[in-house]
Structures are given as structure tokens and as C-alpha cells.
Structure 1
């Protein structure tokens, strides 16, 4: 026969076991409520964001990207599985400036849980927006990763935010951000040298949608596109005709498609120029709003940027 104290002991164990699933017998005592937060998993919206975040947090943290190669963040809407994945991450990091318009409500809902860090890389730039390209009212072009100096500011701002939330790891985050930014400085210098090899009259970049204004400003390229900064808008016949005239008049040797946007309008420009007796070729496909697949020449942000520079130089030089 089991004694009463023994029965009471086993009953207590059973109650505590069941309470794990109902919120009782937890570690949420006053002593543990102030325990340091732990950063184990991060979900990032785009590959560019994921690259920066992984560089700053280091390999100790699991970083996953929601939108893979070829996915257009302007048109992305989350599935129930995506929302479930986001809801269990310790942190959700996004680009901001309405790049991920279809995720706006989901991100707002996630921010209501104070235990999770939800952060936009554009935050420090919005606080001092002099370097951002304004596109009307209080709206800014969201493709600021194409200005490496702005991307460096984003990395520093993110490291500072992490240092605030996880002070015990502040030195590591800031050191990692500095190392990442040094690589971007070297990348910018190389890229400017390579673009300078293009004859000045040929430094005109025409692409599918307006994702390269920051890129052009940073590297000294004139930029034009069929669609605006968001791919939500359709390419107009008038815009295609305008770009055909520009290609023919300036004898632009090549124009560019993008990996995450249909090339239908770009092909229309090529056909329109040919009708007017000028052969402009497809100079290649640029990575605009998404990285390349794993194992490609653009599966990290620096390699993506470098691949774009190489494609443009080879086509226009």
C-alpha cells in the first residue's frame, strides 16, 4: 500500500506536469521575470535583410528568410504558415518604408507582444531622412540597400538596437556590424572603379522597375525604369514608348530585366527600338528585390551587389 505522503508527492508531480501546459508551475516567478532575454531565432523578410542580420548577430543565432529568391516583396502576402512561423520567432526584422506592404497588418499584430523584437532596418534612416529618396509626401523609396552607405547606417542602427535589448551581448553585435560595414566600404570602392570604366555617355541604366535610384546615385549612373518603385502598378504603353525613344536617341546599347519582375515590358522596349531601326540588346538580368538562389553568384547581399555591377559594366562598357 502507498503511504499518504507518497501519494501526496506523486499528486504534486502530476499537478505540476499538467500545469506546464496551462501556464502554472512555470519559471515566471518575480525572480525570473527580470531574467535576460535570449535571442535564439530571427525571421527576416527579404534576403538582403537576412544577410545584414546574420552578419550582425553571428552564427550563434538561427536566421531564416521569409521571401526566397525571385519573390517580389511588393506583392508578397503571408500565408497562415508564414504567420505561424513569424509568431514563434524571438525577433522579426524587416526592411520598412512600405517595401513589405502586404505584411503591414501582420507586423503590427506581432508588435503587440512585447516579448518579441519587431524592428525595421529603416528606423535610423527615418529618424534622419536626409539620405533617403523622397517619392512624394512622407513616402520614401524603400530600395535603400542599393546605397551601401545607407545600408551601413542600417547595420549600425540594428546593432545598437540589439545592444539595447540584449546588453550582455552588445560588444559582439557592434563588433560584427563594424566588420560587415568594412566589407561594404571595400565593395563600394571596387564598384565605383568598375563603373568608371563605362564611357560617360553610356552610363544609363534602364530596368524593369524603379529599384535602382539609390544604386545610380551612389555609382554615378543615370537611371530609368518602366514601372515605378512598386511593382503593384502596371507598365503603361506611354512609358514604354518614352523609353523606346530614349534608347534610340541615346543609342543605349543594352537594357536590363530583373529576377523578381516580369521582363514583358523590357522585351517591348527592345521590339519597339528594333521597329525604329535600332538594335538594343538585353544586357542581362539584375537582382533587384531578392537575392539569388543558394550556390549562385548572388546568394549573399555583397555578392548580389557585385553581380549587378559586373552585369551592367559588361553590357554597357
Structure 2
């Protein structure tokens, strides 16, 4: 249990800088903010502005579904003035840690999924359980950005106007990205707009851009892909003559290679269309180091692989 092992470290790290201890009722000033994923970090950095140091816990290629914090990670979390995370159980290995820190109220701990509903576009996958990959719906990502700015403004009212202005600027950038992406997807023949990837991280992406989506694993990568699921997808690829399927940067390509091999046994050569950035930004030099460039890179990879128009 993460909480049980690192509880004393939390107490030390948080109490050392607690406003409660000093008797202050003012919220802790934001100097250092820690975000769980690169996508979260991109949004948070845009809204907080350059005067705040924003760090990311999970680096390029790290699967947030499987991430468990090291003692050093816990120390970084306890030292931060605020921790911003995705939520909806994306960071499953951090759930107890984050809950503990939220309850202590010694830091600003906030999930970007806070306040999002199915009316906003959240996808419910089971009763009370939601798909956490909502950054792939750029309209929903804008809603999350505005809600985050509002929450910051309530906590730091003297900065509310600046937060809202930066959020509006960021949303304009994201809306332009959405408009451009939809135009690019249009070049794929309608009957070829089928995206098959390693795990179910692209439902929001597909809904937003007009793609059918299928995956070997579910919304979490905790469970191994079943042989039956691979067989079903092999049949779908062969029957629909899907030209390419996609690996993911933070997930093993074992299941995707199994589909390619299964299709070959049935006399159809499906191509590996490339590697998509699903749950993490790309490393330095990849051209996908920020959220907008990551999203644009995914769109380009998909269009290049699925556009079979001569």
C-alpha cells in the first residue's frame, strides 16, 4: 500500500511548508507545481504562465495506468505547492496517494476531470466509471481547461483574470488544432476511417474526428489481451481490408504484431501504420513533445497510413 509505506514521508514533506502550521489562512502560493502526465502539464503550464515552475512526474513513454511512484517521486509530490492530475483512475497506482494528499488539504490537489459530466462529453464505460482519455476530445479538453482556470481563480482571486485570459488563449489554440485535424481526416476514404490500436485510448479521438475505433486491450493496460479479442480483430481487418493498424508509444506492440501475423495467415498483409502517442507525450526530438504537437503527430500518422486514395 503506497499510503502505508510513505505516510511518514508525506507528513514530513507537507508539514514542513504547511500554511496551517503557521496559522495562515491564505492558500499556499504557487511556485512549484507537479503534474502527473505530459498532457496535464501542457495545459497547466499554459494557464499558470511562465512565472510558475511546472514539472511532470511521468516522462515520455511511461504508461500512467501501470505507473507506481518511487520514494523520490513521493518526495517530489510532497514538496510541490500543487499537484494536478488527470483523474478518472488513469493514474491508478497513485490513487491512494492522491486521495491522502487531498484529504490533508495542505496542498492544492486537483483532477482535470473535476466537474466533467456526460453532458460535457465524458464517456461512461460502466455504471459510475468513465473513460479517462478525455484529452483526445479537444472540445472536452477545452472544457477541462476552463474549469481548471475557474478553480484557480476561486483559490487565487487576484490572479483570476490572468488565469481566464490564458485559458481562453489556450482554448483558441486547441480549437484551431481541432479544426485542422478534422480537415486532414477528411482525405481518408469514408469506408477506411477505422482506427485499430493496442489499447482503448482513442474512443474520444474517434468520436471527435469521425473514426471508428477498436483496440485489443480495454481502457486500462492492466489486463493482457485475450486470444479471442485478437482473433476478432484479425477478422475485422481482413473483412474490411483495413490497410494499417497502429502500435502505441507507451504500450507493448505484442498484440498488434499478433494481429499482423494473424492477418498474414489469412492471406492479407496489413501494415503497421506507425506508433501513436496514446498516454504520454513524445520524447525530445520526436516532434510530439507538447500536447498540440503530439495530437497533430497522431493525426498525421493515421492519415498517412489510412489514406489509400491514389
TM-score (structure 1 length as normaliser): 0.89
Say whether 1:82 aligns with 2:76: no
| Distance change in 2, residues 1:240/1:167 (3 Å) | same
**Structure 1 moving runs of 4+ over 3 Å:** 26-30, 34-37
- The CA deviation string for residues 187-223 of structure 1, in whole angstroms up to 9 with x for no partner, is 0000000001000011000000000000000000000
CA distance in 1, matches of 2:178, 2:133: 16
**1:115 Cα deviation after fit:** 2.9
CA distance in 1, matches of 2:147, 2:88: 15
CA distance in 2, matches of 1:160, 1:29: 27
Say whether 1:65 aligns with 2:56: yes
**1:296 Cα deviation after fit:** 2.1
| Distance change in 2, residues 1:212/1:35 (3 Å) | closer
Residue range with higher mean Cα deviation, 100-109 or 216-225: 100-109
SS at 1:256's partner residue? strand
**1:129 Cα deviation after fit:** 4.8
Structure 2, unaligned runs of 5 or more: 1-14
- Tell me the equivalent position of 2:12: none
CA distance in 1, matches of 2:284, 2:125: 33
- Tell me the equivalent position of 1:7: none
- Tell me the equivalent position of 1:181: 171
Say whether 1:103 aligns with 2:94: yes
Specify which of 12, 30, 40 is matched with residue 49 of structure 1: 40
CA distance in 1, matches of 2:191, 2:261: 23
**1:36 Cα deviation after fit:** 5.8
Structural RMSD (CA): 1.7
**1:73 Cα deviation after fit:** 0.3
Say whether 1:161 aligns with 2:145: no
- Tell me the equivalent position of 1:4: none
CA distance in 2, matches of 1:86, 1:297: 28
| Distance change in 2, residues 1:29/1:214 (3 Å) | closer
SS at 2:116's partner residue? helix
Say whether 1:238 aligns with 2:224: no
Question: Does the CA contact (< 8 Å) of 1:124 and 1:153 recur in 2?
Answer: no
Specify which of 163, 179, 188 is matched with residue 198 of structure 1: 188
CA distance in 1, matches of 2:21, 2:221: 47
CA distance in 1, matches of 2:158, 2:143: 22
Specify which of 269, 276, 286 is matched with residue 296 of structure 1: 286
Q: How does 1:237-316 map to 2 (within 5 A)?
A: 237-316=227-306
**1:124 Cα deviation after fit:** 2.1
Q: How does 1:14-53 map to 2 (within 5 A)?
A: 33-35=24-26, 37-53=28-44
**1:37 Cα deviation after fit:** 3.6
| Distance change in 2, residues 1:310/1:98 (3 Å) | same
CA distance in 2, matches of 1:294, 1:250: 37
Structure 1, unaligned runs of 5 or more: 1-21
- The CA deviation string for residues 291-311 of structure 1, in whole angstroms up to 9 with x for no partner, is 001232100000000000000
CA distance in 1, matches of 2:20, 2:133: 43
Which one has a bigger Cα radius of gyration? Answer: 1
- Tell me the equivalent position of 2:9: none
TM-score (structure 2 length as normaliser): 0.91
